[in-house]
Amino acid sequence: MTEELEEYIAAHISPEPAVLQRLDHDTHLQLLYPTMCSGHIQGRLLKMLVRMVNPQRVLELGTYSGYSALCLAEGLLSGKAVVHTIEVDDELEDFITSHLSQAPWGHRVHLHIGDAAAVLPTIEGDFDMAFIDANKRDYMAYYDLVMPRVRTGGFIVVDNTLWYERVVDQQRYHDAQTQGIRDFNDRVANDPRVEVAMIPLRDGLTIIYKK
């Protein structure tokens, strides 16, 4: 997407709340790899998807600075609904918790520090919606981990599924991350348990419906 189009979209969607503007700003100032942060456009989409699905329980793999977790939580309609988010990098914990506490709805986010494969089995209950956005190499494993925990009729949203368009350039890209995403996309497309849609936003967002 061109910068001009991105600016146009940003000017014609709901504004980014001040607390998220500050989080995005602090992410760019204080953390490595700030482009991993969902940001205004994708963040408003995540919130809108939560509004549409009206989940009680949302799961996120890959918290990073907490931006997407806060957008997911912001969309929750039910007073008791929560977001469980898992982040493997314990050095991010203080940054995440301090920014969660600045948002009026931050208490709805339950942060778990540790590897998703180890932490998810310790969280009880199923989920109405999941957002997979952790290590691209492990998307197949995350799918196997998350699928049994999402209820029938629930949704799994997966980020970066076009991986900067590298998925279609077989000549140049053979790295583990690109191959991990390709394998994941092929697997989901052939999984009779689900229906799949893909949005070419940023570097691709897949939306999976569990039949």
Ligand X SMILES: C[S@@+](CC[C@H](N)C(=O)[O-])C[C@H]1O[C@@H](n2cnc3c(N)ncnc32)[C@H](O)[C@@H]1O
Site for ligand X, rule CB under 6 A: 36-38, 61-62, 64-65, 67-68, 86-89, 115-116, 133-135
The least distance separating ligand X from the CB of residue 88, rounded to whole angstroms, comes to 4
Of 5 and 32, which has the nearer Cβ to ligand X? 32
Of 37 and 111, which has the nearer Cβ to ligand X? 37
The least distance separating ligand X from the CB of residue 69, rounded to whole angstroms, comes to 7
Of 91 and 195, which has the nearer Cβ to ligand X? 91
Total Cβ atoms within 10 A of residue 149? 17
Residue 5 neighbours by CB under 8 Å, 6+ apart: none
- Give burial (CB, 10 Å; 0-12/13-18/19+) of 154: buried
Of 128 and 133, which has the nearer Cβ to ligand X? 133
The least distance separating ligand X from the CB of residue 49, rounded to whole angstroms, comes to 13
Q: In what order do the strands lie in the sheet with 82-87?
A: 109-113, 82-87, 57-61, 127-132, 150-159, 205-210, 194-199
Of 27 and 185, which has the nearer Cβ to ligand X? 27
Q: Which residues pair with 110 in a beta bridge?
A: 84
Q: Which residue is nearest to ligand X (CB)?
A: 62
Query: Which DSSP string do the residues of 24-44 spell out, in sequence order?
Result: HHHHHHHSS-GGGS-HHHHHH
The least distance separating ligand X from the CB of residue 152, rounded to whole angstroms, comes to 25
The least distance separating ligand X from the CB of residue 199, rounded to whole angstroms, comes to 15
